[in-house]
């Protein structure tokens, strides 16, 4: 395959891969740094990164901002010349504070999904940080690019398309998940590329488009590039690496998962998610409510009085390897994992630039 790379605001990305942000505590400075060191783009999740800080339950926002700084510093120490960004979910309360913290800390890039990052351009104004919305449909691509164009007279520096096989929260209704078979979704990707093209022409600069969701090997990569995108975003494959910031037991849950263990779950965020079936999901299915350790007011779509479980608690249990009480987010093909390797091994396995 022709040597095709892309640039993020004049910074050339050597390996056309973004590591997908994974919260809570799955992609922190360790994983993001290791990926950036290989020449791809490392992404730290800004979803409750401060969960290990001593004052997390008293002062969550401050603890998270402190952890964002220390995780970025850690990643930069691992990859001094690497490209490193944050994934900041729009559904989070204090979204603007976290974006401003990422800018002040010196991130290269902010990737935002779980909602459309309507006012992200305002929050990064005056800085050099690149911004990338995550979209899943032609409609959402049109809405966000049109809004940024009209209100902020600017466009995206990069655009991530997250397809139906992604892990974590999904940008689709349940019905769309059924309708978007792989070939139907390929057509949607092409339509999104057309939308992006109009803004590339208007702003006279390239907007690299990155495809995510179930991309695990060289063939998946070639398929994505043949659709016309500029690179891939990969998340689940990095969970089963020694450098991943999660507990070993979480990584092993991927290795042990079978295809039938992976299911679509309802999340308090109000979007469907994909996860490995476990005892927490059994409890929720049988109508048992699991009260929060302490509501941190983390997500604006969550009603603490009615939510079946607390997403922050469940994701922290996952990062700590407390599997029975965890929400074990994973991509649709995570069951293919058969061992724990290294970040370098994962990146090499894609055989970028080979036919």
Ligand X SMILES: Cc1cc2nc3c(=O)[nH]c(=O)nc-3n(C[C@H](O)[C@H](O)[C@H](O)COP(=O)(O)O)c2cc1C
Binding residues (CB under 6 A) for ligand X: these are 20-23, 26, 45, 47, 87, 89, 113-114, 134, 162, 165-168, 212-215, 233-236, 329-331, 333
Cβ at position 202, least distance to ligand X in Å: 27
Cβ at position 117, least distance to ligand X in Å: 11
Helix (H) or strand (E) holding 247: none
When the beta carbons of 214 and 268 are compared against ligand X, the nearer one is: 214
Look-up of token digits 């990305």: 13
At residue 329, the 3 state secondary structure works out as strand
When the beta carbons of 33 and 214 are compared against ligand X, the nearer one is: 214
Distance CA 76, CA 101 (A): 16
Cβ at position 333, least distance to ligand X in Å: 6
Look-up of token digits 């604006």: 300
Cβ at position 240, least distance to ligand X in Å: 11
Distance CA 196, CA 237 (A): 28
When the beta carbons of 77 and 338 are compared against ligand X, the nearer one is: 338
Cβ at position 274, least distance to ligand X in Å: 8
Distance CA 94, CA 46 (A): 11
C-alpha Rg value of the chain to the nearest Å: 19
When the beta carbons of 114 and 299 are compared against ligand X, the nearer one is: 114
Where would I find the H helices in the chain? Answer: 29-37, 60-78, 95-105, 120-124, 138-147, 174-179, 182-203, 218-227, 236-239, 248-256, 279-285, 311-320, 343-349
**Residue 182: beta bridge partners?**
none
Distance CA 293, CA 291 (A): 7
Cβ at position 302, least distance to ligand X in Å: 15
Distance CA 299, CA 125 (A): 25
Cβ at position 103, least distance to ligand X in Å: 18
When the beta carbons of 44 and 124 are compared against ligand X, the nearer one is: 44
When the beta carbons of 23 and 60 are compared against ligand X, the nearer one is: 23
| Residues 6+ positions from 281 with CB-CB distance below 8 Å | 263, 265, 275
When the beta carbons of 20 and 208 are compared against ligand X, the nearer one is: 20
When the beta carbons of 53 and 162 are compared against ligand X, the nearer one is: 162
Cβ at position 216, least distance to ligand X in Å: 7
Q: In the numeric block, which tokens belong to residue 74?
A: 């850690």
Distance CA 14, CA 11 (A): 9
């Amino acid at each position: 395959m022709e040597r095709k790379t892309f640039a993020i605001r004049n910074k050339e990305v050597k390996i056309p891969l973004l590591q997908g942000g994974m919260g809570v505590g799955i992609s922190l400075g360790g994983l993001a740094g290791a990926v950036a060191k290989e020449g791809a783009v490392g992404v730290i999740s800004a979803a409750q990164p401060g969960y290990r800080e001593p004052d997390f339950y008293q002062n969550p926002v401050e603890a998270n901002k402190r952890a964002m700084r220390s995780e970025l510093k850690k990643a930069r120490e691992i990859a001094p010349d690497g490209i490193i960004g944050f994934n900041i979910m729009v559904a989070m309360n204090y979204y603007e504070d976290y974006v401003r913290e990422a800018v002040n800390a010196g991130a290269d890039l902010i990737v935002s999904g779980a909602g459309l990052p309507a006012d992200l351009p305002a929050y990064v104004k005056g800085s050099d940080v690149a911004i990338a919305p995550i979209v899943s449909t032609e409609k959402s691509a049109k809405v966000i690019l049109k809004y940024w164009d009209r209100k902020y007279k600017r466009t995206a520096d990069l655009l991530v398309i997250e397809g139906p096989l992604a892990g974590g929260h999904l940008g689709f209704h349940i019905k769309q998940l059924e309708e978007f078979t792989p070939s139907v979704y390929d057509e949607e990707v092409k339509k999104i590329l057309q939308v992006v093209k109009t803004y590339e022409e208007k702003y006279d600069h390239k907007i690299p488009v990155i495809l995510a969701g179930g991309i695990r090997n060289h063939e998946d990569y070639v398929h994505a590039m043949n659709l016309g995108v500029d690179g891939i975003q990969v998340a689940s494959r990095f969970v089963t690496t020694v450098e991943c910031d999660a507990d070993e037991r979480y990584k092993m849950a991927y290795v042990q998962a079978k295809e039938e263990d992976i299911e679509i779950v309802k999340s308090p965020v109000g979007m469907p998610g994909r996860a490995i079936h476990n005892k927490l999901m059994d409890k929720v299915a049988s109508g048992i409510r699991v009260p929060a350790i302490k509501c941190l007011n983390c997500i604006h779509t969550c009603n603490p009085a009615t939510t079946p479980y607390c997403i922050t608690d469940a994701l922290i249990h996952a990062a700590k390897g407390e599997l029975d009480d965890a929400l074990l987010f994973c991509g649709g093909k995570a069951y293919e994992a058969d061992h724990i390797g290294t970040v370098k091994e994962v990146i090499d396995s894609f055989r970028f630039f080979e036919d």
